[in-house]
Amino acid sequence: MAALLAVLIAAAPVRAIVVLKKGVEQPLLGYLVRQDERTVVIREELPGGGQRETHIPRADIEELIVTVDPERLTTLDPAQPKGYREYAEELAEKRRDPEARDAARRLYAIAAARGEGVLRKGALLGLLSLASSPAEERRLRAAAFLYDDQHDPTLLSASSPSPAAPGRRARSPSPPRGPGPGSDWRWRRRRRARRRR
């Protein structure tokens, strides 16, 4: 488990952004590669596992949104792992945003490593909900089982959905929300359109 947590925590920090292009309904999600006064270059993750770089002229961009709040990350206290889990839960809801998903994984890993009992189990279950492969899901299920005080055998079952974190209500599956700090990107676009009228 320590090796898995070390890999999750050691991932290089990068800035994920959401690009809202003028006249285009669907946002572009990816990692910022570089930007200058004329162009923004983002790296998009493709469904098959590949990547591509997209060059976007600044004149075509309506808004750039950075989704993980660096100030909030600096306020987290290692002596209070509950704060790490709470912020991870907020970020995990933004499943389509690659940086929010990666930051949530790192924060859950920190909470699991520093927390105990119910807090550790909840963080491991949060990690389980973000597993990137069946093999990783099996490892996380085993870790959740080992650190569970009751050694609940349903944690090992891959056919069962990942249980809700202790002290939390299980959520019904919902479609992924748009990017942004706790908001829907469509709402931002409608709000800007109303201001222009």
Q: Give pLDDT, residue 186.
A: 56
Residue 189, token pair as written in the block:
């676009």
Q: Give pLDDT, residue 159.
A: 56
Q: Give pLDDT, residue 16.
A: 74
Residue 41, token pair as written in the block:
């270059």
Phi-psi bin for 40: left (phi > 0), alpha (psi -120 to 50), beta? beta
Comparing CA positions, the residue from 70, 91, 78 lying closest to residue 15 is 70
- Give 6-33 pLDDT, tens digit per residue: 444 444 455 778 888 999 888 888 888 8
Residues of the chain with confidence (pLDDT) below 50: 4-12, 160-183
Q: By the 8 A CB rule, do 116 and 148 touch? A: no
Q: Give pLDDT, residue 197.
A: 58
Q: What are the backbone dihedrals phi and psi of residue 45, each rounded to the nearest 5 degrees, phi first?
A: -90, 125
Element (H, E) at 62: strand 61-66
The CA-based diameter of the chain, rounded to the nearest angstrom, is 60
Polymer length in residues for the chain: 197
Give the residue extent of every domain in the chain: 2-11+69-156, 16-67
Q: Give pLDDT, residue 6.
A: 47
Q: Give pLDDT, residue 52.
A: 92
Cα angle value 108/110/112 (rounded, 5°): 70
Q: Give pLDDT, residue 163.
A: 45
Count of beta carbons in the 10 Å neighbourhood of residue 61: 16
Residue 77 CA to residue 99 CA, distance in Å, equals: 21
Q: Give pLDDT, residue 107.
A: 95
Comparing CA positions, the residue from 120, 40, 59 lying closest to residue 88 is 120
Q: Give pLDDT, residue 149.
A: 83
- Give 178-196 pLDDT, tens digit per residue: 444 444 555 556 656 666 6
Report the predicted TM-score, pTM, of the whole model to 2 decimal places. 0.57
Residue 169 CA to residue 174 CA, distance in Å, equals: 14
Q: Give pLDDT, residue 126.
A: 92
